[in-house]
Structure 1
Amino acid sequence: MTAFAEPVLHDRLERQAHNRVLVRGWLYVVLLMLFALVFVGGATRLTESGLSITEWKPIHGVIPPLSDAEWQEEFEKYRQIPEYQQINKGMSLDAFKTIFWWEWTHRLLARGVGFVFALPLAFFWVTGRLERSLKPKLVGILLLGAFQGAVGWWMVASGLVERTDVSQYRLATHLTIACIIFAATMVVARGLAPHSAPRSSPETRRFAGILLLLALIQIYLGGLVAGLNAGFAYNTWPLMDGSIVPGDLLVQQPWFLNFFENAKTVQFVHRMGGYVLFAAALWHVFAARSADRGSTHARRAVVFFHLVLVQAAIGITTLLTVVDIGWALLHQAFALVVLGFAAAHWRATRGSYPAETGVVVRS
């Protein structure tokens, strides 16, 4: 390397480090908004507010009813769907406004996340602050977010004609995609952070990825539980219907439908998923200590296990309180904490993204 090239390279590395701080800070803001979005989505579900807005207006829908006539018009649309006619018949306008504002806030946050992601992405791209390898990752997250908006309406539409609630299949899909977006954003943000520890052993790295997948699967199972209101079905622990393994888990035909449509089976599988994640997290503690003794990776494995332990306790409490709304919301929110830490831990075992010294900021 020539004497002239060294200061040029040093300057480019400094600029890249500065750009990474900016991009990472933006992604952390996105993560906070995604967390709020999923939290409000959970509250919307638990308050049975998700069908209160019966139309999908991505642009015009940002403006809520502003007059008594507009409120009456919106309420009249809600009166036409099965949920009102079979469950909420006779609901007052004030009660309707309560469920309307939950769904409206959820949709407004979703739009907000889109803007907070897309506009800074365009700015960083145009000003040359994005590394080449980041561009497809961030565009992929943006496209997945746009797809999620369509999935959200697809979910709501399932409860507007024949059903009094949304399809559990669509609800679980909607929740899972939101969590994939959250995890992917966390992975990119963590990859931009400077790492004090070297890459972990391959064993620790692989198992950290397995834990991330298990956490995501458990959230999907939780979405099925929420969609079927299966949490209300059996509210004892550790026994379920008087047994560790209750009967009548496969009463529906064909048998595989029980795993998606039988509330008893769905709750049981969600419980078993929790046990599997707990055991895997505990195994990871000992395996990481053996393979990466004394490293930050081993210490993060311990932290992750304790997060899973806390989440299990919250889940059991939610069950025993017959799905108290406060505990249920905490259970969903802490699931994101577990997922986010799993994503960050997995990325940390792989180290930071390699430096790209060709990144130059255009003035």
Structure 2
Amino acid sequence: MLRLLAGSSVFVRRATLGASRRKISTCGFATFSSNVANTLRPRTGYHSPLFTSGYANVAGGSRAVGLWLAGCASMVVGSVILGGITRLTESGLSMVDWHLLKGMKPPWTEEEWEEEFKKYQKYPEYKVVHREITLSEFKRIFYMEYAHRMWGRAIGVAFAIPAAYFWLRGRMPRSMKPRVLIYGSLLLFQGLLGWFMVKSGLKENPESVDTVRVSQYRLAVHLGSALILYSLLFWSAHTLLFQPEMLHETKCLHRLRRATHVGKAVVFLTALSGAFVAGLDAGLVYNSFPKMANRWIPDDITALDPKWRNVFENPTTVQFNHRVLGTATLVGILGIWLMARPVGLPRRARLAVNCLAGMAGVQVSLGVATLLCYVPVWMASLHQTGSVLVLTAVLWLSRELKMRTVK
């Protein structure tokens, strides 16, 4: 009996000691795992799903939030393309009023179409540009502008409903919440800005006797706002969807980062200059390349006074500036591509810089072809789409270069 009790006591002590060792081992492994996770956590301001502990619900929703933001960014690109076609087909002034909800239904009956057509006839575009337009032709340009406005409303719905769902269900990363509020505000501002732009073309302008246009200043701001919104959505979507690739910190990498930042600014500025070209129909004044009417610098490049007005209001100067900026963008991007050769970039970053260089070449070729062919609608629309793709590529490269580095 005594031997049995002694054996039981030894067994209990061994079991207790083994449990303690397992507990210590488990705690040690947990501490080690936590240290590894903190070491590998990307320094991007967001928590990658693979390296987040204690936020399982948020981490699980990060990919869904990223896909939603990517979808919204794609819809913004669609809006930019539709807006460009609307401008090229002179359809943007066919809807002469704007209501957030009332204007969602187009005319259905012949009487409603006649009433809408009579409204249009009261404004300058009909009196100056489309005086011979028929009702069927009016319907075509009306539906073009209607599609553009409805697409903008669709973006608002596609943004607001999932945003509310992710927010209320606790699936949105905390760092994304203020950004989503900013994106929503920009989206609302974009819609109001679009109507503010259209109003500029509905006013009588005694100085314009041959054509009617919206203000090129408001058009550039409208496009610039859309590109900023797209850039922010793309950046956040990429952050949530892609895991970091390791980069070795070197002087070459540091210089490449700075060059890419400059490249983003130049690409954006070139796209804005394209808005002035579209707003003034400047693509129709000198349809030769590389010279402009057998001159490198045309005679009427400083025709307006004061001289600063030529930069924004003289079609010749606007086209000249766009040519120079487009060429500078191509040269700068090729320089970035060459700078990236010795850096030893990981796979995604290499793909991004190659896509950037290739798309820049395609974009310049499209621009020259559009000019030489006297700006056909389909080619000009492809050119505008190309500007968004170049911006996407340079944003992609910049985002890849911000991934976590090692010495």
Same fold (TM over 0.5): yes
Q: 1:258-306, CA deviations, whole angstroms, 9 ceiling, x for partnerless residues? A: 0000000000000000011111101101212233456643442222111
Following the alignment from structure 1 to structure 2, what is the Cα–Cα distance between the partners of residues 28 and 154?
A: 28
Following the alignment from structure 2 to structure 1, what is the Cα–Cα distance between the partners of residues 71 and 130?
A: 38
2:268 matches 1:216: yes
1:75 is aligned to 117
Aligned runs of 1:119-134 on 2, under 5 Å?
A: 119-134=161-176
Contact 1:237–1:316 (CA<8 Å) still a contact in 2? yes
Aligned runs of 1:47-66 on 2, under 5 Å?
A: 47-66=89-108
Structure 1 residue 119, shift from structure 2 partner? 1.2
1:273 is aligned to 325
Instruction: Report SS of the residue matched to 1:255.
Output: coil
1:326 is aligned to 378
Contact 1:288–1:297 (CA<8 Å) still a contact in 2? no
Contact 2:220–2:276 (CA<8 Å) still a contact in 1? yes
- Rate the CA distance shift 1:4–1:78 in 2: closer, same or farther, 3 A: farther
2:211 matches 1:169: no
Following the alignment from structure 1 to structure 2, what is the Cα–Cα distance between the partners of residues 214 and 104?
A: 33
Aligned runs of 1:207-356 on 2, under 5 Å?
A: 207-292=259-344, 296-351=348-403
Following the alignment from structure 2 to structure 1, what is the Cα–Cα distance between the partners of residues 188 and 60?
A: 29
2:68 matches 1:20: no
Following the alignment from structure 1 to structure 2, what is the Cα–Cα distance between the partners of residues 289 and 298?
A: 9
2:242 matches 1:194: yes
Aligned runs of 1:60-139 on 2, under 5 Å?
A: 60-139=102-181
For structure 1, which segment, 238-247 or 40-49, has the greater mean C-alpha deviation from structure 2 after superposition? 238-247
Contact 1:191–1:348 (CA<8 Å) still a contact in 2? no
Structure 1 residue 25, shift from structure 2 partner? 1.0
Letter in 2 for 1:306: G
Structure 1 residue 62, shift from structure 2 partner? 0.9
- Rate the CA distance shift 1:112–1:10 in 2: closer, same or farther, 3 A: closer
RMSD between aligned residues: 2.1
Following the alignment from structure 1 to structure 2, what is the Cα–Cα distance between the partners of residues 95 and 185?
A: 37
Structure 1 residue 248, shift from structure 2 partner? 2.5
Q: 1:142-197, CA deviations, whole angstroms, 9 ceiling, x for partnerless residues? A: 11111111110110000101242211111111111111111111111111122352
Q: 1:56-94, CA deviations, whole angstroms, 9 ceiling, x for partnerless residues? A: 111111111122221111111100001101111132111
The structure whose Rg is larger is 2
Q: 1:102-146, CA deviations, whole angstroms, 9 ceiling, x for partnerless residues? A: 000000000000111111111111111111211122211111111
Structure 2 residue ranges without an equivalent (≥5): 1-25, 35-50, 206-211
Instruction: Report SS of the residue matched to 1:252.
Output: coil
Instruction: Report SS of the residue matched to 2:242.
Output: coil
Following the alignment from structure 2 to structure 1, what is the Cα–Cα distance between the partners of residues 260 and 334?
A: 12
> TM-score with structure 1 length normalisation?
0.91
Contact 1:30–1:113 (CA<8 Å) still a contact in 2? yes
Following the alignment from structure 1 to structure 2, what is the Cα–Cα distance between the partners of residues 120 and 293?
A: 36
Instruction: Report SS of the residue matched to 2:299.
Output: coil
Letter in 2 for 1:261: E
Higher RCO by CA contacts (8 Å cutoff, separation 6 or greater): 1
Aligned runs of 1:152-163 on 2, under 5 Å?
A: 152-163=194-205
2:5 is aligned to none
> TM-score with structure 2 length normalisation?
0.82
1:36 is aligned to 78
Contact 2:273–2:322 (CA<8 Å) still a contact in 1? yes
Letter in 1 for 2:354: V
